[in-house]
Amino acid sequence: MLKVEGLFTEYPNDRGQIVKAAQDVTFEVPEGKLFTLLGPSGCGKTTTLRSIAGLERPRAGEISVNDRVVYSSTKGVFVAPNRRGFGMVFQSYAIWPHMNVFQNAAFPLQVGARKLSRKEIRDKVLRVLTAVQLDQFTDREATKLSGGQQQRLALARALVMEPQLLLLDEPLSNLDAKLRELMRFELKRLQRELRITTVYVTHDQSEALALSHSIAVMNEGHIQQIGTPREIYERPRSQFVADFVGTTNFLDGTVLGRGAQNGTYRVRCEIGDVEVLSDDELRSNDRVVLSVRPEDVELAETRPDGDNVWEARVDQKVFLGEFIDFQVKLGSRILLSRCHPSLRTPIGDALYVKLHPEKCIALKAS
């Protein structure tokens, strides 16, 4: 469906320096799927999205939708954004303050190349406003809408022309926390029902994990890893991805040799010898970084069975309601562990730490 190949987008900033926003970005989004570009601010995710929209002119690469090329540096094609027919929701929603709800949603149908009758427009607009539950507000001034309603109107406006592709630029970032969670479900429901191919840009990892069929993690213009939410979270391929998505413990170590199972290795690190998993082929004496998620650091007051078990001491703990964060000390090293709040070991007491080999991800040290 959407194909982006070797995309490079650069632009001069206010001081005239060239910002290398997107560097060799390549990905594909299958029909009906939601694809997320995830990364910290300035990583080039928004620029990539705007290049797909046609709001930025890339330097090189090719973008096509259903084999219709909308941009290609080699073929010299650049289709203007208003001729691409993609729907887009902007971060600020960009609701036109001088129009009411109906006029905002009807605008794409009035200005497009295809001429529609008044009645057709009315029907289509009412249908889409019903889908986003704004049908009772048609005559309301756009400026009198709440944040969540504006967001839904922006979505309705993007959907009204039944685009092949929907582009969402941090659509939830301007909402307060409660509403954001609610809209996350709404958005997911709507996307799954309409089966509209969507590219979603966000810096919020939980949003990305919750909504996406697949995620591309970007940093400094480059895509670091593409995968399903589970792959990205559980099997990060680089230190950056492991660090950016979720929280994690990093341990420096050196490979000793192959482990007991296929794909596992023994690694010597600060806390001792650990049995770990790696997708890369590792050799002895390779320097690696282990990533262990806090919820995979198991704590117990009685010694558990199996490998990768050490004795530790509680250094700090933070009660967060649904769970409790422990900082435990193994020798000189502190590990973060996220546990069920039923564990009440007092500070200073000893307990046992267990790391499952398949949850210890060895990454090549950068």
Partner 1 sequence: MQAAGYPAMTAAAPAPLWRSFDLKWVVIGVCVALTVYIAVIPLAFLLWQSFFTPHTAAKAAEFTLNNYVSAYSSTETLRLFWNSLKFSTGTALLAFVLGTALAWMNERTNTPFKALFFALSIIPLIIPGILFTVAWILLGSPKIGIINLALQNWFGLEQPLFNVYSLWGMIWVDGLHYSPMAFLLMTAAFRAMDPSLEESATMSGANIFQVAWRVTLKLTWPAILATLLILFVRAIESFEVPALLGLPVGIHVFTSSIYQAVHRYPSQIGLASAYAMTLLAITTIGVYFVSRLSSAGNKYATMTGKGFRPRPIDLGPWRWVAAAIFIVYFLLIVVLPFLVLLWSSFQKFYSVPSWQALHNLTLDPYRFIFTYPNLSRSVWNTLVLSLGSATVIMLVTSVICWIVVKTKLPGRWLLDNVASLPMVFPGLVLGLSIMIFYLNVDIGIYGTIWIMFIAYVTRFMPYGLRYNTASMLQIHKELEESAAMSGASWGTTFRRVILPLLKPGLVAGWIYVMIVSVRELSSSILLYSPGTEVLSITIWELWENGQYVELSALGVLFILALFVLVMVAQWLGKKFGVKE
Choose one: 70-78, 129-137, 254-262, 305-313; the region binding partner 1 (CB under 8 A). Answer: 70-78
CB of 83 to partner 1, least distance (A): 7
Per rule CB under 8 A, is residue 114 in the interface with partner 1? Answer: yes
For residue 14, what are the contacts with CB-CB under 8 A and spacing of at least 6?
none
Choose one: 95-103, 173-181, 232-240, 322-330; the region binding partner 1 (CB under 8 A). Answer: 95-103
Query: Please, what is the angle between helix 147-159 and helix 177-194, to 10°?
Result: 20
Instruction: Determine the Cα–Cα distance for residues 153 and 155; give it in Å rounded to an integer.
Output: 5
Q: Which of 31, 66, 260, 344 binds partner 1 (CB under 8 A)?
A: 66
Instruction: Say which residue the tokens 């206010």 belong to.
Output: 14
Q: Which is nearer to partner 1, 44 or 87 (CB)?
A: 87
CB of 365 to partner 1, least distance (A): 41
CB of 76 to partner 1, least distance (A): 6
Instruction: Determine the Cα–Cα distance for residues 202 and 182; give it in Å rounded to an integer.
Output: 16
Tokens matching residue 43: 């990583």
Q: What pairing do the DSSP bridges indicate for beta strands 68-72 and 60-65?
A: antiparallel
CB of 109 to partner 1, least distance (A): 9
Q: Which is nearer to partner 1, 81 or 147 (CB)?
A: 81
- Of 55, 57, 49, give the one whose Cα is nearest residue 4: 49
Per rule CB under 8 A, is residue 132 in the interface with partner 1? Answer: no
On the 0-12 / 13-18 / 19+ scale of CB atoms within 10 A, 284 is: exposed
CB of 49 to partner 1, least distance (A): 11
Per rule CB under 8 A, is residue 154 in the interface with partner 1? Answer: yes
Q: x/- site string to partner 1, residues 3 to 42, per CB under 8 A? A: --------xx------------------------------
Q: Which of 18, 24, 31, 112 binds partner 1 (CB under 8 A)?
A: 112
Cβ distance 208 to 218 under 8 Å?
no
Query: Please, what is the angle between helix 118-131 and helix 147-159, to 10°?
Result: 130
Per rule CB under 8 A, is residue 194 in the interface with partner 1? Answer: no
Q: Which is nearer to partner 1, 96 or 185 (CB)?
A: 96
Q: Which is nearer to partner 1, 43 or 49 (CB)?
A: 49
For residue 208, what are the contacts with CB-CB under 8 A and spacing of at least 6?
36, 38, 200, 202, 215, 229, 245
Beta-ladder partners of 366:
none
Q: Residue 152, SS3?
A: helix
Q: Which is nearer to partner 1, 84 or 354 (CB)?
A: 84
Instruction: Determine the Cα–Cα distance for residues 204 and 218; give it in Å rounded to an integer.
Output: 13
Q: Which is nearer to partner 1, 112 or 341 (CB)?
A: 112
Contact residues for partner 1, defined by CB under 8 A: 11-12, 53-55, 64, 66-69, 72, 75-77, 79-88, 90-94, 96-98, 107-108, 111-114, 154, 157-158, 161-164, 167
